[in-house]
Amino acid sequence: MDELLNQIAYCVEFGKINLQSPYPPDMKGQPGADELTKEALDKGVDADMILQKGLVVGMEKVGIKFRENKIFVPQVLMSAKAMNTAINHLKPYFLEGNIKRKGTFVIGTVAGDLHDIGKNLVAMMFEGNGWEVIDLGTDVSSNKFVEELKNRPGSHVGLSALLTTTMVNMEQIVQEVRKTAPNSKILIGGAPVNEEFKTKIGADFYSPDPQGAVEYLNSIASN
């Protein structure tokens, strides 16, 4: 069983989606995250074990490599595809409540901003680490964040911006979220954002990379 879980983690780490996938070249013709996850479930491996010991382990390694500039966005996207393929097999177990999520993370690119690559990377990392992710997309108003938090009490929030002209919209969203969900942690990120700006607008956490955001909320979820 451990070997199978290690193989799943390896496929996620290196972006091996399925048997047909030509990437990475040295794994051509080998089963990927798709087949191995199905095999593990067929053999009776607990779905939560597959998530925690397979997918989470793989995505954590991806996050650390990305932070250290050892891999880049295309490789992360391949890993995310492998992870999502595996998660599709696990979704029925999420719905049945057989897999415990760490929590809910509501994320969106703020009003006026249509960039989504950074947001998507963060969302993928969180999902691969066992969080339920509600992706509100781009150009998200404070009202939309607030409405979602009313429907999902106890959720945490991620705000993304790529433009200096839209990062200012984060402050209003932070203020509105505080009124609605004072206990929710608010994380911010994006090219123009920094620690000083986080403090200025009253957010809880800033990270220059997705892994930092994941580690921050993981530490809160484990308390």
Mean pLDDT by 10 residues, the chain (223 residues): 96 98 95 98 96 96 95 94 96 86 96 94 93 97 97 97 95 96 97 97 96 95 83
pLDDT given at position 214: 96
Same domain, 138 and 89: no
- Domain with residue 120: its CATH number is 3.40.50.280
Same domain, 80 and 110: no
Same domain, 83 and 17: yes
pLDDT given at position 222: 83
**Neighbouring C-alpha atoms within 13 Å toward the C-beta of 48:** 8
* φ/ψ of residue 18, rounded to 5: -155, -175
Same domain, 115 and 86: no
> At which of 95, 119, 135 does a domain end?
95
Q: Which amino acid is at 31?
A: P
* Beta partners for residue 189, in sequence order: 160
d(CA 1, CA 127): 23
pLDDT given at position 204: 98
The domain in which residue 22 lies consists of 2-95
Residue carrying structure tokens 């193989």: 7
Please give the tally of structural domains in the chain: 2
- Domain with residue 32: its CATH number is 1.10.1240.10
Same domain, 83 and 133: no
For 155, other C-beta atoms within 10 Å of its C-beta total 21
What is the value of pTM for the model shown? 0.90
Do 83 and 51 contact (CB within 8 A), yes or no? no
Tens digits of per-residue pLDDT, 155-193? 999 999 999 999 999 999 999 999 999 999 999 999 999
Same domain, 87 and 169: no
Listed in sequence order, the residues at least 6 apart from 69 whose beta carbon sits closer than 8 Å to its beta carbon are none
Assigned token pair, 120: 């998507």
> At which of 95, 121, 150 does a domain end?
95
> At which of 95, 121, 136 does a domain end?
95
